[in-house]
Amino acid sequence: MKTHPSNEFAPARGLFVTGTDTEVGKTVIAGGIAKVLRDKGQRVGVFKPIASGCRSDRQGLVSEDAEFLAHCADSSESLEHICPVRYREPLAPEVAVKRGARPIDFKSVQTYYNRLVADKDVVIVEGVGGLLVPLAEGFTVADLAKQINLPLLIVSRPGLGTINHTLLTIEIARSRGLRLAGVVINSYVADTANVAEETNPAAIERASGTKVLAIVPRDLETNVHKGVVGGGVLFALQQIDYEAIL
């Protein structure tokens, strides 16, 4: 078994969704984009190659993120194929492995990804954590994104500190040779936004030369546990020019 993947991922049209931090809502954005594209008549594949913090049930470990993505894409694929590598503890995969979990089987990640994209118009891949999360010794999410070779969409917070976090993520992406699709600001509350939140999107664009594709509102209708994407999220994501970024 190979420790790291090689260039064996099939070429595809789609996006690799990452975040500036954990809990920024990249699952909601990835699922929302999948639903928008499905509603446009696209055959959409969703893929969560590696997940941590999975729940245990009678069928083994289940990724709630993968369930949500599958629902948004109306996918007929099994959850095991959508998310082939799953860890119980909410830890970086390399840390989970050092604590006794099974190492990532990168070959199975490649196999299920290649099967998925074979009959799809577009694929939405959600990473685990941010770009520098270690998956194995000397191998990060950024390295996996480079192998999969889809344009990178970065999900960011709206508040103070997001300029730094977003610019750092963009710099890492460029240093690894990743193609940038753009940035999505998630969970914005217009009625209570302060000056930092109002000015951050333009500041990110000026400093990085990367476009903020959408500012997605905090939407109380959205519920990952129930597989629901609210209308506010969908409306914001519908404004993206997907033909330009895919």
Amino acid, res. 122:
V
Q: Could you tell me where the DSSP H helices lie in the chain?
A: 26-39, 64-73, 79-82, 93-98, 106-117, 141-148, 162-175, 195-208, 231-238, 242-245
Given the residues 35, 48, 120, 146, select the one marked as catalytic. 48
Cα–Cα dist 23/37, whole Å = 23
* List of residues 6+ apart from 100 with CB closer than 8 A: none
Chain centroid to CA 106: 18
**For this structure, is 2 an active site residue?**
no
Question: Which conformational region is residue 176 in: left (phi greater than 0), alpha (psi within -120 to 50 degrees), or beta?
Answer: alpha
Backbone angles phi, psi at 50, to 5 degrees: -140, 135
Q: Are 172 and 132 in contact (CB under 8 A)?
A: yes
Cα–Cα dist 69/185, whole Å = 19
Cα–Cα dist 105/1, whole Å = 7
Class of residue 238 by CB neighbours under 10 A (exposed 0-12, middle 13-18, buried 19+): middle
* List of residues 6+ apart from 114 with CB closer than 8 A: 8, 9, 10
Catalytic residues: 48
